[in-house]
Chains A and B, each alone.
Chain A
Amino acid sequence: MSFQKSKFHHPRLPVNDLGLTYRDYEGALSTLCAGCGHDSITSAIIQACHEQSIPPHKVAKMSGIGCSSKAPNYFLNKAHGFNSVHGRMPSVTTGANMANRDLLYLAMSGDGDSASIGLGQFAHVVRRQLDMVYMVANNGVYGLTKGQLAATADKGVKNKTGELSIFTDIDLCVMALQLGATFVARSFSGDKKQLVPLIKAAISHRGFAFLDIISPCVTFNNHPKSTRSYDYVHDNVVTGAIADFVPVKKEITSDSAQGGCEDICLHDGSIMRIQKITADYDSKNAMKAIVDIEEHKKKGEILTGLLYLDPTGSHFHEINNTTDTPLNQLDQDTLCPGSRILSSINDSFR
């Protein structure tokens, strides 16, 4: 079921450039379990969209099937949403984006949706460089079907009923890096300070932006043996750099890129400000990011933060050389060649 939230709110809630409060970015009341990490992601998305003054109706919320895929119902009520088929969100989003290149595609998927049934579609949407924000709420477990192990569950861990994860786990960030994603990040639903700037940057990025968000499942995967429980993730999360998002409108003063900070200019003019934690952090080296992820994994750690960013990367419509006007707005005069041309086509068959 879905329940609408009360529209009552404090009269002096802060408004953004569009005159909208954060409540204008909310969705229906969540029906996920109390304490679900996905609700924190929802709230981070709402905050990011509000602070960035995204017109809600210019967003298309895309998802597949699963707990994660229900989440788009809980943010941006004024945006159209599409809860599609299990594992097939990438193809539906591809089609939607082909039809209208001007919308912002915010997609939510899960580990079952992207790493199992939809792994093929995930791989191909990455290589197509679709201009979208692809978020995976990754909890290593199947929620809606009650606790089966997911393909992202670490090899050797047990689920709540004691079933052992016996096969190699799939790391979607590593796959995205290998397949040519131009923005790859990993975060934790419990760390809003890290997550919100990453979502904002993913929105500003032009091209395929991938965000794997560790989002613990309070009901089926929050037990002591889990490597995706709140406690485990809290204790083992590390990052190579703190990434802050500086929007376009904020004047960038000469001293802002002060000691140890690196500024990366995104396509829309906003800045990703990187403050290194480890000296050898390099946001431009995808292969190194893969090595870093694997090395931390060996130590039982989860490497988070911005893993890779190429702000100059291409995207599908550029590769395809599609016309600037969204295809769904071309009129009949532009699309239909008419009877005169048809008669010359007919002549070619005589």
Chain B
Amino acid sequence: MAKSVESNKIKSNQKLEIPPAINDFVIRFANTNGTGSASANNMFAKAIVRMGIPVSAKNIFPSNIQGLPTWFEVRVSEKNYLARRGGKSEIVVGMNAQSLFDDIDSVMPGGFFLYDSSKQLITDQLRDDIHYLGMPISAICQKEYQDPRQRQLFKNVIYVGALAALLNIEFDALKSLVGDQFKGKEKFITPNIYALEIGYQYANQHFICPLPIKVERRDLINDRILVNGNTGSGLGAVYGGATVVGWYPITPSTSVVEKFASYCERLRIDPASGKKNYALIQAEDELAAIGITIGASWNGARAFTATSGPGISLMTEFLGLAYFAEIPMVLINVQRAGPSTGMPTRTQQSDILSCAYASHGDTKHILLFPESPTECFEFSALSFDLTEQLQTPVIIMSDLDLGMNDHLTPEFIWDDEKKYNQGKLLSAEQLSEIKHYGRYLDIDGDGICYRTLPGTHPDKGAFFTRGTSRNRQANYSEKSDDYVDNMLRLTRKFETASQMLPQAEICQSKIPADMGLIYFGTTAHAISETMDQLKEHSLSVDTLRIKAFPFNHQLTKFIKEHNRIFIIEQNRDAQMRTVISTELQIDPAQLYSITNYDGLPITSKFIVQGILNKLSSKVVTEQVS
């Protein structure tokens, strides 16, 4: 296979040959964090996208700044299977001595291991069923570069160059990416292209290129872009008109605010004065972050904060206040594996219960579940309308996989005709015309009352916002009747909300299938592949993707129409199933759950296996009974 590998030292006679594959394989990069590998790996993924071929890229990284193993997995799939595939990879690039044996182990039998051969591998314990592609990358860098940082950084670029030859990646696609990446910093372009060429030449001279697994140009990207969800959320907030942000850094949500800030620096500077049309404060903690958000929203600005699980815990007292005092605010929760610090750099959907019912007393919150960076953008922008219309917090439930990994996603779209909707907010003129204003009067019967902002009218509309019980005129009251009246109205408001939120996405044949699959968020990435695999088992299913909580009749109807309902989620305790059975009063025994909570994005294999296991155990039970 390879012209010159250290294979002469390894018994390679019975090596398996991997079946040739075009545009359908997984490549895994094993690096050390803090060595600049991420940008090289991203360039690799993007080059394939520029050849018109779908990819998904997952960064599997430690909670550490420098020196620990980190992996980057790229799945190339012209069938558009963009979830993690799972299992071993066709090709692994092993650049980290610490994880070398694990990385060799992660190669599929017959697959390829590209490594830095500047130091010889200890051959005794090596697998002999894979191909070793040794390339003296460190030695080349030692020779080519003087600066130690360059010696490190260009290692990554060199292996990308080698992969271009090995996998048939168009060299021009890489070159144009380098040009884009260093726009404005042109002096970096030539050295990067030179490093790519070193790798490319070396591979061509020493290995048989291309390998049987390779890419070939297609035209399958259409209008899609490659971007992460946090960028979508941050940009959505710019488009949704957010002007105030209070925040506290926490992985994996930090880049939501960083992206918002960097777009604001470009797009929100007043051209005449050079002053900012936004204000952002990195607060002392998450309590202050949400306090800032609530104060600003109370005062009529569109405001948001972003956090992750532990931050949600700290924000719950304020969420109760915002629910009860009916103050709008947007909270973007990029979920990670908990509890406590859990696995802070791994993904999960495990804050559903803590967000749906966050805070003391009878509270309930609006949740939106985006599946893609595109929906992060749309929901983020939309949430500012929803929260002002409904006068209650809106929580966007993203997750680490969605937020921090690049996904191939439909391009962002904005309709210039669409106007911001501030809901029932009274102007000075409207207040002048009103005989008697009461903040908590339900004039329209939909549970939503009319809001006023401080400073609007000299004599009318002022009231005292408080977390304490009050009557419809916003006067302090401890009367049980006033309290109950208010709580019932809040329930009515949530019924109104369920009709206003994004509708579930249902895929259903005319005659409902026997089985129904309910899923949400990033699980969506595995669904098309799951359906195809189930077809191979002669199973057909209908699907429903939840986009929002509180639920509406669609979900009840879907559950009733199917004999078996599976709820797929990425947490241990089947939290969505708990919410569904509680809210819709469905016997939980009717809802089978498939739960993945190992911190890695869910795979179709896992879902299909879960369904098959349940079905076979069902058969067994039926046989027994």
| Interface: B284 (CB within 8 A) | yes
Any B CB within 8 A of the CB of A93: yes
- Structural contact, B243 and A95, CB atoms closer than 8 A: no
Residues of B near A350 (CB, < 8 A) are 49-50, 225-226
Q: Is the CB of B276 within 8 A of A78?
A: no
B389-429 interface bits toward A, Cβ cutoff 8 Å, 1 = contact, 0 = none = 00000000000000000000001111110011000000000
In the complex, chain A residues whose CB is within 8 Å of the CB of B528: none
Please count how many residues in chain B sit with their CB below 8 Å of the partner chain's CB atoms. 75
A345 interface hit (Cβ, 8 Å): yes
* CB-based contact B279/A98 at 8 Å: yes
Quick check: is B317 within 8 A (CB to CB) of the other chain?
yes
Query: Which residues of chain A in 7-28 are interfacial with respect to chain B, using CB atoms and an 8 Å cutoff?
Result: 28
| Complex contacts, B411 vs chain A, CB 8 Å | 343, 346, 349
Assess whether A332 is in contact with B241, with CB atoms less than 8 Å apart: yes
Let me know if A88 and B291 touch, CB within 8 A.
Answer: yes
- Tell me the smallest distance from the CB of B255 to a CB of chain A, in Å: 15
The stretch among A79-87, A195-203, A233-241, A268-276 that forms the contact with chain B is A79-87
Whether B454 contacts A60 by the Cβ 8 Å rule is yes
Report yes or no: A81 in contact with B465, Cβ–Cβ below 8 A. Answer: yes
Is residue A226 contacting chain B, with contact meaning CB distance below 8 A? Answer: no
Residue of B nearest to A27 (CB): B464
Least CB distance, B384 to chain A, in whole angstroms? 10
| A77: interface (CB < 8 Å) | yes
In the complex, whether B292 has a CB less than 8 A from a CB of chain A is yes
Check A120/B267 contact, CB under 8 A, given A84-B291, A100-B299.
no
* Residue pair A341, B283 in contact (C-beta under 8 Å): no
- Tier of interface size on chain A: 35 or more
Contact B462–A88 (Cβ < 8 Å): no
Are A92 and B300 in contact (CB-based, < 8 A)? no
Inter-chain CA distance A214–B62, complex, in Å, is: 52
Q: Are B226 and A349 in contact (CB under 8 A)?
A: yes
Query: 1/0 contact trace for A51-88 toward B, CB 8 Å?
Result: 00001111111000000000011000111111111001
A128, B299: Cβ atoms closer than 8 Å: no
Given known A2-B476, A120-B284, contact A95–B465 (CB-CB < 8 A): no
Indicate if the CB atoms of B318 and A85 lie closer than 8 Å.
yes
Chain B residues contacting A251 (CB-CB under 8 Å) are: none
Which of A156-164, A279-287, A295-303, A317-325 lies on the face that meets chain B?
A317-325
Chain B CB count within 10 A is highest, among A79, A120, A345, for A345
CA–CA, A191 and B291, complex, Å = 34
Query: Which B residues from 268 to 305 make CB contacts under 8 A with A?
Result: 268, 270, 273-281, 283-285, 287-301, 303
Cross-interface CB contact of A82 among B268, B295, B452, B455, cutoff 8 Å = B295
Contact present for A321 and B276 (CB under 8 Å):
yes
A83 to B458, CA, bound (A): 21
Q: Which residue of B284, B420, B475 is within 8 Å of A121 (Cβ)?
A: B284
Q: Is the CB of B275 within 8 A of A324?
A: yes
Q: Chain B: which residue is nearest A69 at the CB level?
A: B466
Whether the pair B420, A99 counts as a contact (CB closer than 8 A) is no
**Chain B neighbourhood of A322, CB < 8 A:** 275-276, 278-279
Q: Is the Cβ of B299 less than 8 Å from the Cβ of A60?
A: yes
Minimum CB distance partner of A124 in chain B: B284
Instruction: Tell yes or no: A34 within 8 A of B by CB.
Output: no
Contact of B412 among A56, A90, A346 (CB under 8 A): A346
Q: Does B123 contact A (CB under 8 A)?
A: no
Query: Does A320 lie within 8 Å of B276, measured CB to CB?
Result: yes
> A265 at interface (Cβ–Cβ under 8 A)?
no
Q: In the complex where A91-B246, A98-B301 touch, is A80 in contact with B462 (Cβ < 8 A)?
A: yes
Nearest B residue (CB) for A335? B241
**Shortest Cβ distance from residue A46 to the other chain B in the assembled complex, whole angstroms:** 15
Q: Is A339 an interface residue (CB 8 A)?
A: yes
- Residues on A with C-beta less than 8 A from B283 are 91, 124
In the assembled complex, the Cα of A60 lies from the Cα of B284 at a distance in Å of 23
From B246, B277, B475, B478, contact of A334 by CB (8 A): B277
**Interface residue B321 (Cβ < 8 Å from any Cβ of A):** yes
Residue of B nearest to A329 (CB): B300
Do B301 and A99 touch (CB < 8 A)?
Answer: yes
* Chain A CB within 8 A of B468 CB: yes
Does B40 lie at the interface of the complex (its beta carbon under 8 Å from any beta carbon of A)? Answer: no
Nearest chain B CB to A42 CB, angstrom units: 14
Contact, CB under 8 Å: A323 / B464: no
CA distance A173 to B227 in the complex (A): 50
Chain B residues, Cβ within 8 Å of A346: 225, 411-412
Pair A79/B454 contact, Cβ less than 8 Å: yes
Whether the Cβ atoms of B462 and A77 lie closer than 8 Å is: yes
Given A337-B238, A349-B226, A350-B225, residue A332 in contact with residue B267 (CB < 8 A): no
Q: How far is the CA of A237 from the CA of B152 in the complex (A)?
A: 68
CB of B64 closer than 8 Å to a CB of A = no
Q: Which chain B residues lie closer than 8 Å to A323 at the CB level?
A: 270, 273, 275-277
Closest to B452 in A: A80
Judge whether A337 and B468 touch: CB under 8 Å: no
* Cross-chain contact A121 with B454 (CB below 8 angstroms): no
Instruction: Report whether A327 and B241 are in contact in the complex, using a CB–CB cutoff of 8 Å.
Output: no
A114 within 8 A of B: no
Assess whether B278 is in contact with A327, with CB atoms less than 8 Å apart: yes
**A94 to B289 Cα, complex, angstroms:** 10
Indicate if B450 sits at the interface (CB-CB under 8 A): no
List of A residues within 8 angstroms of B321 by Cβ: 84-85
Q: CB distance B246 to A95 under 8 Å?
A: yes
Nearest Cβ on chain B to A175's Cβ, whole angstroms? 14
Asked whether B456 is an interface residue with its Cβ less than 8 Å from the other chain, the reply is yes
Contacts of B243 in A (CB 8 A): 99, 327-328, 330, 335
* Extra pairs beyond A99-B243, A336-B414, A349-B411 (13, CB < 8 Å): A28-B475, A80-B452, A81-B463, A82-B295, A91-B288, A95-B296, A96-B295, A96-B296, A96-B299, A324-B273, A330-B243, A339-B416, A349-B225
B interface residues, Cβ below 8 angstroms from A: 49-50, 225-227, 231, 235, 238-239, 241, 243-244, 246, 263, 267-268, 270, 273-281, 283-285, 287-301, 303, 317-318, 321, 411-416, 419-420, 452-459, 462-468, 475-478
Cβ contacts A to B, 21 pairs, < 8 Å: A57-B454, A60-B299, A83-B467, A85-B467, A91-B295, A95-B295, A96-B299, A98-B292, A99-B295, A100-B301, A123-B284, A317-B279, A322-B275, A323-B275, A327-B279, A334-B277, A335-B277, A338-B414, A342-B413, A346-B411, A349-B411
The 7 closest A-B pairs by CB, nearest first: A95-B295, A91-B291, A99-B301, A80-B454, A349-B225, A95-B296, A92-B295
